[in-house]
Amino acid sequence: MKKQQIKKAALYCRLSRDDEYMGESMSIQSQKTMLAQYAKSNGFCEYEFYADDGYTGTNFNRPDFQRMIEDIENGQISTVIVKDLSRLGREYLQTGYYTEIFFPDNDIRFIAINDNVDSDCGENEFTPFKNIINEWYAKDTSRKVRSAIRARAKNGEYTGSRPAFGYTKEKDNCHRLIPDENTAHIVKTMFQMALEGTRCYDIAQYLKKHGIPTPRAYTDRTKTNHFVDSTKYPCDWSKTSVYQILSNPIYTGNLVQCRKRVKSFKNKKLIFTDPSEWITAENTHEALVSQEVFDLVQDRISVKKPKYPLNPNNIYRGLMVCGECGNKMVWQHDKRKSHIGYYSCNLYKRYGGEECTFHHIRVETLNEIVLESIKSNAALAAADEEKYIQYLVSQAEMKFSVENAANEKEVAKIKKRIEEIDKLILKIYEDNAFGRISDERFTSLSESLETEQKELKQRLTEIAAYKRKMNNKAVECGQYANLIKEYTDITELTAEVLNQLIEKIVIHEYINDGERLKEVEIYYRFVGHI
C-alpha cells in the first residue's frame, strides 16, 4: 500500500522597499522567526519558508509566491501562514481572489496571524475591508515615496538608482554625483567629436573600435568585476546610446529629474512625464561640458543625417528658414546651370504657390551677405570688445522690456485661469458626487480642464525660462563677442564656421512695385538678430 504524502505548511514572507521606507513591516528574518514560532506552537511540524525580499505587494508576479502557488497546485501544501494580510498582497482584487477563491478551491487553510484570520474558523467578514485598507495603504505609500523623491530632486539631490555614465556617486552621500575618473574623459571625447560634426553613428563605431564598454556593461563590471552574461557584447555601442548621452543635460552640472514615473502604484511600467512636471536643479555637481558646448551639440545631433553622403555645397544645411511659413529652406541646383545652387522654401517645393512663395536665394548671394555680416561684427568686437558688448546688451534690454511687459500680462491671465480651473474641477467633482452629472461627463470635463491647466503651467515655465535667459544676457553677449572677434580675417565660409556662429538665417520675400525683393535676417548664437 502506497504511503500517503504528508502535506506541509507554507510560511510566506514578503518585504518591499516601500515597506522599509515607511518603517512599517518586520524584516524577512523577523517574519520567519515569528512564523516558525507560530507553526511549532500550533502543531505544524512540516513547513517550508517562501520569501520574497524586495517585491511590492501590488504585483503577484513574485518568484517565491509563484513557487508556492505551483506547490499548492501540485498538492504539496495544506496551509498558508502569513504575518498579516498585507504580506500576502496589497492589491484588493487579486488578494481577494486568493483568499476567497483559489485557497478554498484547493482546500488550503489560510492564516494571517496579526489580523486574526483563520479560514478553519469560518469566514472573517472584516477580511475584504482589510484588503481594501491594505491597497489604500500601498497607494498612500506610493504617493509619499513619489513626494519624497520630488522633494529630494527639488533640493538638488540625485534620485537615480545608478549614476549617469561619466559619473559615480559620492562615497558618503549617494545623492551627490562626482566625475568618474574611468569614464568622464570618454563623455568629454564624445561631446568634442559631436561638436566637430561627427555623427552619433560614427561616434558609436569609434567607441566600439576602441573597446569602450557601454554604460550598462560598465555598470555590470563595476558591480561584479567582470562582464555578466546579460552583456553579451559589452562594447556594442549604438547611435541611440550615444544620442541619449549627448542630449542629457546632466553633463552641464544641472539635474533634470522626474522625467519618468510609473504608470500607477499597481502598474510599474515607466512612462514619460509632461515637461512641466520635470524638476531642474542647477549647479548641483561638477560639469563635464560647458552649457555653450552642450547647446551647440544639441543643434548638431538634432539635424537628421541622411543615409547618403552629404552635399559638400550645402554648407547652410539646417540653418535656412522661410520667413513666411517657418519651414526649412532646402538646397537645390539650377537645372539650366548645374554649377549654381540656391535655397528655396521646402513647403513651396512640395505643394506649390498655394502654401507659400518661392523664397529662393542663390548661394553666391547668401555667401556675400553672411560673410560681410560676420566680418563687420568681428571687426566691431575686435576694435572695442567692451563697447560692443554694451551695445548688444542695450539692444537685448530694449527688446526684453517690450516683451517682458506683454509676458507679465500673460502671466497674470494664466495664473487667474489656473485658479478658475481649480475651482471648476472642485465644482464638477461635487456635482458628480451628488449625482448632478454622470461619471462619463465628469471624466470628460475633468480631463479637458486638466489638459488645459497643464498647458498653462507649461507656458509659465517657458516664460520663466526666457526671463532667466534674458537676465543672463550680458554673459551671453560676452561669450558671443569673444567668439566672433576671432573671425576678422575670414575669407571663406564653411559648414563648421556657420554652425559655430549662427543659429538660423531667415529669408523674407515681398513685392514692391511689381519687383520681388528679399530680406535676410541672420540670427547669431547667444545674441540672436543684431
Task: State the CB neighbour count (10 A cutoff) for residue 426.
Answer: 10
pLDDT of residue 358: 77
In which band, very low, low, confident or very high, does the pLDDT at 89 lie, cut at 50, 70 and 90?
confident
For residues 199-215, average pLDDT = 90
In which band, very low, low, confident or very high, does the pLDDT at 476 lie, cut at 50, 70 and 90?
confident
Residues 6+ apart with CB under 8 A from 12: 35, 50, 51, 64, 65, 68, 80, 81, 82, 87, 88
CA distance linking residue 173 with residue 435, whole number of Å:
53
Res. 74: pLDDT tops 60 = yes
pLDDT of residue 268: 54
CA-nearest of 402, 399, 415 to 456 is: 415
Write out pLDDT tens, residues 380-414.
Answer: 888 888 888 888 888 777 777 777 778 888 889 99
Supply 458's cell numbers.
Answer: 507649461
Res. 361: pLDDT tops 80 = yes
pLDDT of residue 3: 44
Task: State the CB neighbour count (10 A cutoff) for residue 449.
Answer: 16
More confident residue, 335 or 350: 350
Of 228-242, 279-293, 376-390, the one with minimum mean pLDDT is 228-242
For residues 418-429, average pLDDT = 88
CA distance linking residue 277 with residue 118, whole number of Å:
46
Show me where the domains of the chain are located.
Answer: 8-149, 155-302, 326-405+460-529
Top mean-pLDDT range of 273-282, 349-358, 372-381, 394-403: 372-381
Task: Give the 3-state secondary structure percentages of the chain, helix then strand then coil, rounded to 5.
Answer: 50, 15, 30
Residues 6+ apart with CB under 8 A from 119: 99, 103, 104, 108, 109, 110, 111
Three-state DSSP at 327 gives coil
Task: State the CB neighbour count (10 A cutoff) for residue 329.
Answer: 25
Top mean-pLDDT range of 5-19, 76-90, 307-321: 76-90
In which band, very low, low, confident or very high, does the pLDDT at 76 lie, cut at 50, 70 and 90?
very high
More confident residue, 434 or 504: 504
For residues 137-150, average pLDDT = 63
For residues 459-474, average pLDDT = 76
pLDDT of residue 228: 45
Whether 492 contacts 339, CB under 8 Å: no
Whether 246 contacts 194, CB under 8 Å: yes
CATH number at 8-149: 3.40.50.1390
Alpha helices in 256-316 (DSSP H): 291-302
In which band, very low, low, confident or very high, does the pLDDT at 308 lie, cut at 50, 70 and 90?
very low
For residues 326-342, average pLDDT = 76
Determine if residue 526 is left, alpha or beta; phi over 0 gives left, psi from -120 to 50 gives alpha, anything else beta: left
Place of cell 527639488: 154
In which band, very low, low, confident or very high, does the pLDDT at 23 lie, cut at 50, 70 and 90?
very low
Is 3.90.1750.20 the CATH number for 155-302? yes
pLDDT of residue 320: 92
Whether 357 contacts 324, CB under 8 Å: yes
CA distance linking residue 404 with residue 401, whole number of Å:
5
CA atoms within a 13 Å half-sphere pointing along the CA-CB vector of 385:
14
Supply 396's cell numbers.
Answer: 537685448
For residues 417-428, average pLDDT = 88
Res. 507: pLDDT tops 70 = yes
CA atoms within a 13 Å half-sphere pointing along the CA-CB vector of 151:
6
Write out pLDDT tens, residues 158-192.
Answer: 877 788 899 998 888 888 889 999 999 999 999 99
Average pLDDT, the chain: 81
In which band, very low, low, confident or very high, does the pLDDT at 335 lie, cut at 50, 70 and 90?
low
Sign of CA dihedral 252, 255, 256, 260: positive
pLDDT of residue 522: 93
CA-nearest of 140, 115, 111 to 129 is: 115
Supply 118's cell numbers.
Answer: 483563520
Top mean-pLDDT range of 267-271, 334-338, 463-467: 463-467
Three-state DSSP at 450 gives helix
In which band, very low, low, confident or very high, does the pLDDT at 135 lie, cut at 50, 70 and 90?
low
